[in-house]
Amino acid sequence: MAEVALLTAKHAAYVKRVSEDSESYEYAVSEHLRMSGVYWGLSAMYLLGALDAMDADMIARFVVSCQHECGGFGGNVDHDPHLLYTLSAVQVMLLLGRLEQIDAQRAVAYIAALQRDDGSFAGDEWGEVDSRFSYCALNALSLLGRLDAVDVGRAANFVASCQNFDGGYGATPGGESHAGQIFCCVGALTIASAAHRIDRDLLCSWLCERQLPSGGLNGRPEKLADVCYSWWVLSSLSALDRLSWIDGSALMGFIFRCQDAEGGGIADKPEDVPDVFHTFFGVAGCSLLGYDGLKRIDPVHAMPVEVMERLPHAAPWGH
Ligand code: FPP
Ligand code: ZN
ipTM of the complex: 0.96
- Ligand approaching nearest to the C-alpha of 90: 1
Question: What does pTM read for this prediction?
Answer: 0.96
Measured in angstroms, how far is the CA atom of residue 196 from the centroid of ligand 1?
A: 24
Q: Are 110 and 71 in contact (CB under 8 A)?
A: yes
Closest Cα to residue 47, out of 266, 296, 234?
Answer: 296
| Confidence band for 1, pLDDT divided at 50, 70 and 90 | very low
Ligand 1 binding pocket includes 84 (Cβ within 6 Å): yes
Task: Indicate which residue's Cα is closest to atom 15 of ligand 1.
Answer: 302
pLDDT at site 319: 61
Measured in angstroms, how far is the CA atom of residue 103 from the centroid of ligand 2?
A: 33
Task: Indicate which residue's Cα is closest to atom 17 of ligand 1.
Answer: 180
Ligand 1 binding pocket includes 75 (Cβ within 6 Å): no
Measured in angstroms, how far is the CA atom of residue 102 from the centroid of ligand 2?
A: 31
How many CB atoms within 10 Å of residue 223? 14
Contacts of 235 (CB under 8 A, 6+ apart): 183, 186, 187, 284, 288, 299, 300, 302
Model pLDDT for residues 174-198, shown as the tens digit of each residue? 999 999 999 999 999 999 999 999 9
Task: Indicate which residue's Cα is closest to atom 24 of ligand 1.
Answer: 219
Q: Please give the C-alpha separations between residue 131 and each of 86, 109, 286, in angstroms, as whole numbers.
A: 16, 20, 26
How many CB atoms within 10 Å of residue 239? 22
Measured in angstroms, how far is the CA atom of residue 267 from the centroid of ligand 2?
A: 8
Ligand 1 binding pocket includes 229 (Cβ within 6 Å): no
Q: Which amino acid is at 67?
A: Q
pLDDT at site 31: 76
Contacts of 311 (CB under 8 A, 6+ apart): 94, 143, 145
**DSSP bridge partners of 67:** 73
Q: Please give the C-alpha separations between residue 58 and each of 65, 81, 93, 145, 212, in angstroms, as whole numbers.
A: 11, 20, 12, 26, 41
- How do the residues of the chain divide into helix, strand and coil, expressed in percent and rounded to 5? 55, 5, 40
Model pLDDT for residues 124-172, shown as the tens digit of each residue? 999 999 999 999 999 999 999 999 999 999 999 999 999 999 999 999 9
Closest Cα to residue 41, out of 22, 30, 32, 54?
Answer: 54
Measured in angstroms, how far is the CA atom of residue 231 from the centroid of ligand 1?
A: 10
